[in-house]
Amino acid sequence: MRVLVLALALAVMATDAVAQTRKAVTTVPSTSGRSSQKSLWLGAHASLANESDLGLGARAVWTVPSQRRLGVITSLDYFFPSGSDGVVAVDSRHWEVNGNLAYHFGRRWRPYVGPGLNLARRSSDLAFLGQPAGSASETALGLNLLGGLRRVDGRKHQYFAEARYEVKGGEQFLVAAGVLF
C-alpha cells in the first residue's frame, strides 16, 4: 500500500514538474539555427535482476541546461521475486528508489556512466502448511555503479538500455531498458 501511495505521489509531482517545465523550457530557435533541448524526460522501463527477477519502473532524467553532459537519473523500481509453494511457502516483495549522477558522451547515441544512491526495501511472508508462520523485512541504503546508452531520436522520445550494479541496498546486478518521453 505504501508503495502505491509513493508511486502516486511521484506521478503527481512529475506531472506538475512536466507542466512547469513545458512552460519554462520551450523549443526556441537559437542564433546558430539549432533548437534548445528539453531538460526533463519521463518514462517507463522493465528490468531483469539476478536476485529479484523481473521488475517494472518509472524514471525521470534531468539534464543540466548549462552543462548538457551532466544529468540526474532517478527511478522507482518494483520487482516481482519468485516465491515458493509447497510445505513452506514464501511470498516476497522488493522495491527500490534510485538517484544517480550520469556523465553523457556523444550526441545521437549517448553512452553514460556514473555513481548513485539506492534505497531498497525487501519483505517476505512465510507460511507453513498454508498457515502464516512469520514475516521479515529489511530496508537498506546502498551505492549504485551504472552505465548505459540513450538513443536520442528527435525531441519526442528516447530509448535507453542500462546496466547497474548495486553495492549494499538492493545488492544485485540488473539490466533495464525502456523509453523516455
Tell whether 141 is covered by a domain.
Answer: yes
Tell whether 165 is covered by a domain.
Answer: yes
Tell whether 87 is covered by a domain.
Answer: yes
Asked if 137 and 92 touch (Cβ cutoff 8 Å), the reply is no
Tell whether 84 is covered by a domain.
Answer: yes
In this predicted model, what pLDDT tens digit does every residue of 62-71 receive, in sequence order? 988 888 899 9
Burial of 169 (0-12, 13-18, 19+ CB in 10 A): buried
Pairing verdict, β 53-64 and 40-49: antiparallel
Tell whether 49 is covered by a domain.
Answer: yes
Tell whether 42 is covered by a domain.
Answer: yes
In this predicted model, what pLDDT tens digit does every residue of 124-176 receive, in sequence order? 998 888 888 899 999 999 999 999 999 987 778 899 999 999 998 889 999 99
Tell whether 32 is covered by a domain.
Answer: no
In this predicted model, what pLDDT tens digit does every residue of 78-134 receive, in sequence order? 999 887 777 888 888 999 999 999 999 988 889 999 999 999 999 999 888 888 889
7 DSSP β-pair partners = none
Give the pLDDT of residue 29.
42
What global pTM score does this model have? 0.75
Tell whether 8 is covered by a domain.
Answer: no
DSSP 31: T
Give the pLDDT of residue 15.
45
Q: How many domains are there within the chain? A: 1
Residue-range definition of the domain harbouring residue 146 = 37-180
Give the pLDDT of residue 2.
54
In this predicted model, what pLDDT tens digit does every residue of 47-58 receive, in sequence order? 999 988 899 999
CATH number of 113's domain: 2.40.160.20
Cell numbers 546486478 correspond to: 173
